[in-house]
Amino acid sequence: MSALVSILSLSDSVVITDTETTGINAHANRIIEIAGLRIDSEGTNTWFSELINPGVTIPHRITRITGITSAMVFGQPAADDVMPRFMEFLSDGIFVAHNIRFDTSFVNAEFERLGLPAMENRGLCTLRLARRLLPGLRSKSLGNLAKFYRIPPDGRHRAKKDVEITSIVLERLARTAIDDHGVTSIEELIELQGRTYARVNPHSKHVVAIRRDRLPELPAEPGVYYMKDGRGRVLYVGKAKDLSKRVSSYFTAIEAHPPRLRQLIAKVRDVSWRVMPTELHALIEESREIKRRDPSFNRAQKKYIPRPYLRLDQEEAFPRLTVQVIMREDGAEYYGPMRSRSQAQTLLDIIERHFPVRNCSPFEFERGKRCVRADIGRCPAPCEGQVERSDYDGILTDVRSFLNGDVETVSLQLQDDMMAAAESHKFEEAARLRDLVVFLEGRLQSGGVVADAVNGPEQIHFLRSKGLHSATLVLLAGGRLALLEAPDSSDDPGALIRDALRDLEEHSHPGSLNREDADARRVLDHWLYVNRADVVSLERREDEALEVFADRSEAVIALHLEATS
Write down all domains in the chain, each with its CATH number in brackets: 3-198 (3.30.420.10), 205-293 (3.40.1440.10), 309-445 (no CATH), 459-564 (no CATH)
pLDDT in tens, 2-21: 899 999 999 899 999 999 99
What is the percentage of the chain residues whose pLDDT exceeds 90?
43
Residue 518 has pLDDT above 90, yes or no: no
Q: What is the pLDDT of residue 466?
A: 66
Whole-angstrom Cα distance, residue 393 to residue 115? 95
pLDDT in tens, 354-406: 898 888 878 877 777 778 777 777 888 888 778 888 888 898 899 988 988 88
Find out whether the peptide bond into 337 is cis, omega within 30 degrees of 0.
yes
Residue 511 has pLDDT above 60, yes or no: no
Sign of CA dihedral 279, 281, 282, 286: positive
Residue 507 has pLDDT above 80, yes or no: no
Q: 13-21 and 31-40 as β-strands: parallel, antiparallel, unpaired?
A: antiparallel
pLDDT in tens, 523-539: 888 888 888 888 888 88
Residue 426 CB partners (closer than 8 Å, separation 6+): none
327 in the Ramachandran plot: left (φ > 0), alpha (ψ -120 to 50) or beta? beta
Q: What is the pLDDT of residue 509?
A: 54
Q: What is the pLDDT of residue 508?
A: 56
Residue whose C-alpha is closest to residue 340's, from 312, 301, 308: 308
Residue 93 has pLDDT above 90, yes or no: yes
What is the percentage of the chain residues whose pLDDT exceeds 70?
95
Q: Is there a contact between 90 and 36 (Cβ–Cβ < 8 Å)?
A: yes
Whole-angstrom Cα distance, residue 163 to residue 370? 74
Q: What is the mean pLDDT of the chain?
A: 87
Whole-angstrom Cα distance, residue 273 to residue 242? 11
